[in-house]
Amino acid sequence: MSGSHRRVPRRSLRLLSLLAAMALGVATAPVHASPSIPPAPRDAAAAAAQVGPQIVDIDAKLGYQSAIGAGTGIVIDGGGVVLTNNHVVAGATDLTARSIGTGQTYPATVIGYDRQHDIAVLQLAGGGLPVANIGNSDSISVGEPVVSLGNAGGAGGAPSVEPGRISALNQTVSANDALTGSTETLNGLIQVDANIRPGDSGGPTVNSANQVIGMNTAASQNYHLGRGQGFAIPINEAMAIAGQIRSGGGSPTVHIGPTAFLGVGVNDAPGGAIVRQVIPGGPAAGAGISPGDVITAINGQPVNSATALTNILDQHHPGDSVNVGLGGRDANVTLAGGPPG
């Protein structure tokens, strides 16, 4: 049995949703039951009062798509360090974040991101922010009541709150990005019956002690029909990746610092990634790459899909020179700086 899901999108002028399909048959790993699980759903208002000041509303301008987006972030350091989803900031040419706790709006920059695990860490130009109480996602149980908070609809202001319960653990969601053509699979997700909605991405799911045990990342495609099923990244995993990013430790999945920009939009094609859009004035345009070209390699490393191209470029930085294989010809390109994710 399978279902159709989509990544919780940023609110935008142009729909930038990620379509996904969940593997419902994924086995659930054993977890330790908590003897203190309350018998009824959480008081959402009480959770909002305590947890709300610890989150930020994120606004993203997507200059190359002539669009805007909105999401949520979790404050993990009072010095302005914020945890969010990579897909909240992906493609952003300008980022700001409004702290619910201070009421102030701050410019934000991306420290680094892990596209494969949908994690990004931001640095806000400000300090003195209330910090989230981070829990232990290894000790959660199916049936445990939770509350998911966020910036539903991208409206900002008082956080949206949705009470629910953990309905499954160790779930897998496969997603396809309709904008970039890349695909990804998120594993080990917490499934909740809270009605996570657009704009809630990057927000916290908290337990009965108002501790963050997950970060919202996906909602079922029929969320608008009533109470939906949402998904959250376990906070232990998210914080481990955030720690790696903050330490400056890049890896095959973690990119630190500014993003290398080739200046193309691509889709999967037999034997490579077909160029469907070339950004005017960008590196690819300057090298003579055109729509319809099929990228087959970067520096001799095979490109067999849009995702492969994205992953290879994630290992580069602005200023790097690369050789782009185009089937019957090559193009030498100096990568520019571009939007994250």
Q: What amino acid positions are annotated as catalytic residues?
A: 87, 118, 201
C-beta atoms surrounding 20 within 10 Å: 25
Instruction: Answer yes or no: are the C-beta atoms of 62 and 279 closer than 8 Å.
Output: no
Question: How do strand 67-77 and strand 259-261 relate by DSSP bridges?
Answer: unpaired
Q: Facing residues of 96 across strands?
A: 59, 107
Q: Which amino acid is at 139?
A: S
Its sign, for the CA torsion 327, 331, 332, 334, is: negative
Coil, strand or helix at 224 = helix
Report how far residue 52's alpha carbon sits from residue 212's, in angstroms, rounded to the nearest whole number: 12
Q: How many CA atoms lie within 13 A of 30 on its CB side?
A: 1
Token pair recorded at residue 141: 């149980």
Q: Which residues make Cβ contacts (< 8 Å) with residue 242, sequence separation at least 6? A: 76, 83, 119, 121
List the one residue out of 295, 274, 133 whose CA is nearest residue 209.
Answer: 133
Token pair recorded at residue 269: 């094609």
Report how far residue 248's alpha carbon sits from residue 290's, in angstroms, rounded to the nearest whole number: 35
DSSP-assigned states of every residue in 138-168: GG--TT-EEEEEE-GGG--SSPEEEEEEEEE
Instruction: Answer yes or no: are the C-beta atoms of 192 and 167 closer than 8 Å.
Output: yes
